[in-house]
Structure 1
Amino acid sequence: MAGNYGFTQQNYLVEGAQKINQLGSHSIFLYLTPDFRTLYPDQSSQSWPASDPTDLAGLAQTAPFAGVFSADFNTIVLTAYSFANHDQVQGMASCENCQSAEENEFYTLTKYLYSKYAGSGRTFILKNWEGDWIALGGQEINLTSNISDSMVQDMIAWLVARQHGVSRARSEAGSSPGMQVLNAVEVNRVLDYAQQGLTRVINAVIPKVNADLVSYSSYDSTVGGSDAQTVQQALTLALQTIAKLAPDPLGFGTRRILISEFGLFENQELNDAAWRTKAVLDTASNAGIYGAFLWELFDNTCTQANGQPFPIDAGPGSPTRPTDGQCRGVWVVRPDGSTSAALDVLKQYW
């Protein structure tokens, strides 16, 4: 998503999905949002429709998404934002129309997925982006602050609406559709609560939403430490905290937890890729959770000499294409086409 380089003139979503399949993975993590044209540029393929869809179900039916959803993937995780509200969460608790629109859009999307992919064996997981950053107002904030009471209520209202939409459509699909659509609430600052007792999504929101799953963007526990034991201890604490506080409405046990992101900054932490990846995946496997996704295929954190980010999806030979050294190293495939040492570790768990 929004990587700073690519290798073809295909639609960026299609190119990335094909590469992930070629590498051997049968799971994929995508963004399904109104910003689809920016996150996944068309290049010269003209794959996106001339006019924008009006809702998530319509976006799911566009050629790039439909192609990926029909490809060789068993699990498809989607950070999804409605066309009705996008990421406007503040004030949600007092806006019944907003809640209704959110629920209906997730209902319509889920109903479409059950209708289109019945019998496919696929699992679709719909989720929000990092909930604690949303609730705290962004990443550049004072991490000793609590999420405000009003924002807690807004987050609950927003996330309950999404869950209700998914649950309603799933109930209508019946007990044997041969695939499933699940809803997850994403957290990303679990240790703020576990270690400091701060108000975070994990303790203030998760117990109230009754979501199918909890997804965990795990940078707070996986990027620190200089050895595998330290990483494993921090991640284990986070996973145990989630397991303690998350409802389990579908009886999934520890498989109701998914690590939606862990990332490696290879150009900042040299020689960490293999051991840190193994530490994360060993911990996830031992905990019995649903799985873990490495962020990401092509680095989206490459910056120019003036500090500005490189444009999205610069092709080979482009004067605005980054070199390997101009990226932080959040990648599986580098700009020069070589692959991260993390890939060999990942393949052991596929």
Structure 2
Amino acid sequence: MKIFKSNPQVNDWDSLVNSYNYAIGTQTVGSKYKFSEKTMLVETAIEIKNMGSNLLKFSMHPRYCTENYGLPKNDNITSLTKLASLEPSVKEVLDMDFKFYHIWTYGFSQYTPEPLGEKDDTAQIKFIDGFPKEYQEALYKEIFEFTSYLLKTYNDTGKVFYLGNWEGDWHLRSDYDRDKPVNMKTLAGMTQWAKTRQQAIDDAKKATAHKNVQVYHYIEVNLVRKAINNPDAKVVANSIVNEVNPDYVSYSSYDATNPYKTENTLKKNLQHSLSFLESQLKPKAGLPEGKRVWIGEYGNPSAIYNDEEQNKRSIWTIKAALEWGTPFILYWEMYNNEIKSDTGEQVGYWLIDDKGKKQPIWYTHHEFYKESKSFVRNYAEKNNKLPSFDTFRKKALKFKSLNP
């Protein structure tokens, strides 16, 4: 398909090159430091953009003022749509020139505030021991409204929004005990929760006139190796994903990356896990061509690995995932979000550390983007069309940034 005019202007090329999916990226959630007067959310979004990325992953939920970003509380913000439209920092990053948005999305209609200073993840989900009808209806309405808002507000901008959840297996097992049998009422409740979110997005897309903007739903999973090693074990991957058949699946992939000591074993286990997840999905109309499973999180903390090991192991993950064909590979994260409770030490899930130092893995991302954009531009000028994602990823595996 031709995408350029017979005499394309440089600006046309710039727009197309800048909006291409370069697969690798990062996210900003709960950072423990910052360096400017801007809010945490805006500062880290700018840093992600400055690194060269056109993808932003962040969270939107009722804890916007107490968790992750510490934004000012506004009593008029009572829904996701109002959070997007009334909270200045949230609106600013949604309006920035990112192409892709991955958003952990939790409805205000599901939230019961925790006591001051306490955190209870079940406060923002209401499917423990079953999902009552009134919460289903409220969730559907809120997600429908939010999806409609995104489609209308960002109509004809080219933006793509992926609305999903954080590590779903810790919602299914909210006590974080991976060895306990699953609560079957909670399993049924979470399945209905995911179906409701998917249905609300689908219905809003049908009901809302829009062009050149898209919203999709994803489910994030994290205990995939448990399902592979024990087919009778009930986790989100083999008990909810295959029942809901979401648009996409995000894999918080630590159980397939961090245990392994060599590149070959990491690659073997990661690709096996990705293939297992893909096998849980059924064909679905209305989606772009390509794989529907991506890596929503991977990371190598500096509390365990030195800077060069952190970079090396990250490259292992990137190359294994690109080879498999996953559309996104998201590093955890721009600024570190974890501090050891006993020592106060930064755990070091970072691209930029708490002293403002860019890590080797930051430079890997930065150089990868430069090589990627150069390849895509040259390919487009020569062929008068953008390369397919398969063409891009196969070329990217040979980039100098991934083969230092």
Same fold (TM over 0.5): yes
1:89-142 CA-to-partner distances (Å, cap 9, x unmatched) read: 334745111111111111000000000001110111100111111101233x1x
**Is contact 1:5–1:335 with CA below 8 Å preserved after alignment?**
yes
Look up the match of 2:329. Answer: 292
Question: What does residue range 92-171 of structure 1 map to in structure 2 within 5 Å?
Answer: 93-139=130-176, 141=177, 143-171=178-206
Look up the match of 1:13. Answer: 41
Q: Does 1:41 align with 2:70?
A: yes
Aligned equivalents of 1:253, 1:199: Cα separation in 2: 30
Question: What does residue range 227-246 of structure 1 map to in structure 2 within 5 Å?
Answer: 227-246=262-281
Instruction: Give the residue type in structure 2 aligned to 1:40.
Output: Y
Paired residues, what number? 324
SS at match of 1:255: coil
Look up the match of 1:88. Answer: 125
Question: What does residue range 328-343 of structure 1 map to in structure 2 within 5 Å?
Answer: 328-343=347-362
Aligned equivalents of 2:291, 2:94: Cα separation in 1: 23
Look up the match of 2:392. Answer: none
**Is contact 1:114–1:179 with CA below 8 Å preserved after alignment?**
yes
**Is contact 1:214–1:257 with CA below 8 Å preserved after alignment?**
yes
Q: Does 1:222 align with 2:257?
A: yes
Instruction: Give the residue type in structure 2 aligned to 1:41.
Output: G
**Is contact 1:131–1:187 with CA below 8 Å preserved after alignment?**
yes
Q: Does 1:67 align with 2:95?
A: no
Show structure 2 runs of 5+ residues with no match: 1-28, 112-123, 370-404
Question: Cα offset for 1:337?
Answer: 0.8
Once structures 1 and 2 are overlaid, which stretch shifts more, 84-93 or 105-114? 84-93
Aligned equivalents of 2:314, 2:205: Cα separation in 1: 35
SS at match of 1:191: helix
1:67-97 CA-to-partner distances (Å, cap 9, x unmatched) read: 1111121101100100011432334745111
Given the alignment, which residue of 281, 295, 300 partners 1:259?
295
Aligned equivalents of 1:294, 1:214: Cα separation in 2: 16
SS at match of 1:199: coil
Q: Give the share of equivalent positions with the same residue, in percent.
A: 24
TM-score by length of 2: 0.76
Aligned equivalents of 2:335, 2:76: Cα separation in 1: 26
Look up the match of 2:214. Answer: 180
1:162-210 CA-to-partner distances (Å, cap 9, x unmatched) read: 1111111111235x61010111011111110012222111111111112
**Is contact 2:107–2:143 with CA below 8 Å preserved after alignment?**
yes
Aligned equivalents of 1:181, 1:55: Cα separation in 2: 18
Once structures 1 and 2 are overlaid, which stretch shifts more, 48-57 or 29-38? 48-57
Name which one, 1 or 2, has greater alpha-carbon Rg. 2
**Is contact 1:277–1:345 with CA below 8 Å preserved after alignment?**
no
**Is contact 2:32–2:338 with CA below 8 Å preserved after alignment?**
yes
Aligned equivalents of 2:81, 2:198: Cα separation in 1: 16
Aligned equivalents of 1:303, 1:204: Cα separation in 2: 34
TM-score by length of 1: 0.88
Instruction: Give the residue type in structure 2 aligned to 1:13.
Output: L
Aligned equivalents of 2:217, 2:166: Cα separation in 1: 12
Instruction: Give the residue type in structure 1 aligned to 2:30.
Output: A
SS at match of 2:143: helix
Aligned equivalents of 1:348, 1:282: Cα separation in 2: 15
The CA RMSD measured in Å over matched residues stands at 1.8
Change in 2 beyond 3 A, CA 1:341/1:248: farther
Look up the match of 1:53. Answer: 77
